[in-house]
A and B are shown apart, each in its own frame.
Chain A
Amino acid sequence: MTETTPLLQLDNIVKNYGAIEALRGISFDIARGEVLALLGDNGAGKSTLVKIISGGLEATSGRIVFDGIERNFTSPAEAKAAGIETVYQDLSLCTNVDVVANFFMGREIVKRFLGVPILQEREMQTVVEKAMANAGTRIPSMRTNVEHLSGGQRQAIELNRFVHWGGKLVLLDEPFAALGVEQTRRGLDMIKRIAAQGIGVVIITHIMAQAFQVADRMVVIRQGKVAGNVERAKTSPDEVVRMITGESL
């Protein structure tokens, strides 16, 4: 396996729901450090595809090669263990606990005392502070409950957490839907920083401008097929919109 093998290869992915073909042979690659925008109209098959990549659904046929190994994820947990994770808006954080608790959700550092696992709060806080500082994210206190933090800060926690725990491919579903202009700008910066660390990023979005600001490549899904797979530099928003709607050039 070299740096040039793609991070993820999708080869002729088909998904049938009974007689209905949701996906009709999807093939494309994502490289390490690449930001890919996944575009398409509602019902085009984007969310089905995302679920297959992240283990939420199993494909009817086709091959998924991730990190050089053929995979057949049967649950999100398996995909996650391999390093693939979907970050949904507001579905990944518990706002009623602090930053540290969210960062370590399910992977807390413990020390056993008489067989009882005991949370090592100080140790965990140090780890989070370091991870946040490395990513250039500033949060006033790691002990603040997440409900008091802004949308941008929450996203930063999610992404830093993902990177920290050895994530390799992150799928972002409408990551900027609820953010203001300034926060969106910072979010886009963060995505670039993450990609620069060699992590693959898939962004699912409706907003063409954002896709063009951050993505290296656009993949358009239409009626269960790849209707376009172009580098950003070689295309234009108009062209991509035409791919999405299926109008001929």
Chain B
Amino acid sequence: MSARQRAIIEFMLDNLVWLLLIVVLAAFSIGIPSYFQIGIFTNIIEDSTYVGVMAIGLAIVIIAGNMDLSVESVAGLTAMVTGILFCNGGIGLGYTMAPVEWLAIPVSLLLAIAVGGIIGFSNGLLVVKLRMNAFIVTLASYIWVRGLVLALSGGRSAQGMVPELRIIGIPIDPILLPPSALIAIVSFIGFSFLMRRTPFGRHITMIGGNPIATFRAGIKTDRLILVSFILAGAVAGIAGWLLAIRTSGATANLGVGMLFKAFAAVVIGGVSLKGGIGQLPGVYAGVLLLSAIQTAINLMGLPAHYTQLILGALVLAAMLIDTLKLQIRQRLA
């Protein structure tokens, strides 16, 4: 096989999920009445915002050869923090930054990033310094962070986001997308650039491939792994912030089940759970694909239990695709 042919096949494998997305969207547009319209497509993009942003951090940690199960709970926590501070109903305290009200946007966002980053830092520290297994460390965080949400809220909800924050979730007229969706798209572009075009991304990928080699080459692997966890936490923090804005509040179980979707998107998007392989644009396509299918289920009005059957089958399909791709790659080698 020539290098050129190999390059083409590699390119196809890398972008398989985009291809799949186009096929699925076309099939749904033909098969499901009222699917083919701008409003549905903007819904798909908007719906991909929250899981999508969460999946960015998860993907980076997985590419670095680790695992972060805590992202869902972290998003739940920052959503609750945002909700408690900037909602005026339920348990919300209804803070405003008057007289400069728009300041609530950067203040709440930075707070969400900080809270997420701190949890990511503690995860990373345990993994790097105490050499604890990332799966276990972040499983523990998945549990205790959700517990913290419960403690903060007392199991109650906040509702009625202050208007200066709500505008992030309300579509802008000509493009029909809310700023939140644009934040997700910009995040994907930014982090894709970070992963592909900067030494940081290059090193993270190499650590996922062979941590010993990178360590021996003088790359500060421990520091980078720690940074990857902080990033995952901070980005999950943004996801939670967006989630609170979208819901215009926060409930104690907000975000529950998103870890599964984020994982599915990451795997469907071509990131190998073994580490070192995968690109963020693919992950975004994976999130869009999941959301396109979920929207189709919503529109078809399938009986309740079908949703779970289909989502379960999707995850299996994702794993099969992952294995299949690995086999094709091995045959190429």
Chain A residues proximal to chain B, CB less than 8 Å: 76-77, 80, 91-97, 101, 105-106, 108, 110, 116-119, 140-141, 143-144, 147-148
Q: Which 9 A-B pairs have the closest CB atoms?
A: A96-B209, A96-B276, A94-B209, A105-B217, A94-B206, A106-B217, A94-B210, A106-B219, A106-B218
Q: How many angstroms from the CA of A143 to the CA of B7 in the assembled complex?
A: 9
B277 within 8 A of A: yes
Q: Which residues of B are found within 8 Å of A141, using beta-carbon distances?
A: 3
List of A residues within 8 angstroms of B276 by Cβ? 94, 96-97
Tell me, yes or no, whether B106 is within 8 Å of chain A by CB: no
Contacts of A101 in B (CB 8 A): 202, 206
Query: Across the two chains, which residue of chain A brings its CB closest to B219?
Result: A106
Interface check B294, CB cutoff 8 A: no
1/0 per residue B58-79: CB within 8 Å of A? 0000000000000000000000
Majority SS of interface residues in chain A? loop
Minimum CB–CB distance for B211 against chain A, Å: 9
Known: A106-B218, A143-B7, A148-B6. 11 other contacts (CB 8 A): A76-B216, A92-B213, A93-B213, A94-B206, A96-B206, A97-B209, A106-B217, A116-B198, A117-B199, A119-B198, A148-B333
How far is it, in angstroms, between the C-alpha of A89 and the C-alpha of B23 when the chains are bound? 44
Contact present for A95 and B199 (CB under 8 Å)? no
Please measure, in the bound complex, the distance between the C-alpha atom of A76 and the C-alpha atom of B205, giving whole angstroms: 22
Across the interface, name the chain B residue whose C-beta is closest to A93: B213
Can you list 7 A-B contacts (CB < 8 A)? Answer: A91-B212, A92-B216, A96-B277, A106-B203, A116-B198, A147-B333, A148-B6
Whether, in the assembled complex, B197 has its beta carbon less than 8 Å from a beta carbon of chain A, the answer is yes
How far apart are the CA atoms of A108 and B196 in the complex, in Å? 13
Q: Do A91 and B205 have beta carbons less than 8 Å apart?
A: no
User: Chain B contacts of A97 at CB under 8 A?
Assistant: 202, 205-206, 209, 276
The CA of A92 and the CA of B209, in the complex, are separated in Å by: 11
Interface string of B206-246 (1 = CB under 8 A from A): 10111011101111000000000000000000000000000
Say yes or no: A91 contacts B216, CB within 8 Å.
yes
CB distance from A178 to the nearest CB of B (A): 15
Most buried by B among A93, A96, A101, A119: A96
Closest residue of B by beta carbon distance from A95: B209
The residue from A95, A110, A117, A143 contacting B210, defined by CB atoms under 8 A apart:
A95
Inter-chain contact total with CB atoms closer than 8 Å: 67
Q: How far is the CA of A108 from the CA of B216 in the complex (A)?
A: 15
At the interface, yes or no: B151 with Cβ under 8 Å from chain A? no
Asked if A94 and B214 sit within 8 Å, CB to CB, the answer is yes
Distance in Å: Cβ of B64 to nearest Cβ of chain A = 12
- The chain B residue with its CB closest to the CB of A87 is B216
CB distance from B189 to the nearest CB of A (A): 14
Query: Is the C-beta of B332 less than 8 angstroms from some C-beta in chain A?
Result: yes
Task: For B219, list chain A residues within 8 Å (CB).
Answer: 105-106
Known contacts: A116-B198, A118-B198, A144-B3. The answer to whether A96 contacts B218 by CB under 8 A is no
Question: What is the bound-complex CA distance between A92 and B210, given in angstroms?
Answer: 8
Q: CB distance B206 to A119 under 8 Å?
A: no
Interchain nearest-CB distance for A120 vs B (Å): 10
CB closest chain-B residue, reference A148: B333
Do residues B206 and A105 form an inter-chain contact, with CB atoms below 8 A?
A: yes
B329 to chain A, nearest CB (A): 8
Q: A96 contacts B199, CB within 8 Å?
A: no
In the complex, what distance in Å separates the CA atom of A94 from the CA atom of B205?
9
Q: What is the CA–CA distance of A204 and B116 in the complex, to the nearest angstrom?
A: 49
Alpha-carbon gap, A108 to B209, bound state (A): 17
CB proximity of B77 to chain A, nearest CB, Å: 30
**Is A91 a contact partner of B333 (Cβ separation < 8 A)?**
no
Residue of B nearest to A116 (CB): B198
- Chain B neighbourhood of A148, CB < 8 A: 6, 332-333
Option from A76, A95, A106 in Cβ contact (under 8 Å) with B214: A106
Residue of B nearest to A149 (CB): B333
A94 to B277, CA, bound (A): 11
Specify which chain B residues have a CB less than 8 angstroms from the CB of A140 in the assembled complex.
3
Q: Is the Cβ of A80 less than 8 Å from the Cβ of B206? A: no
Bound complex: CA A94 to CA B6 (Å): 20
Q: Once bound together, how far apart are the Cα atoms of A93 and B3, in whole Å?
A: 21
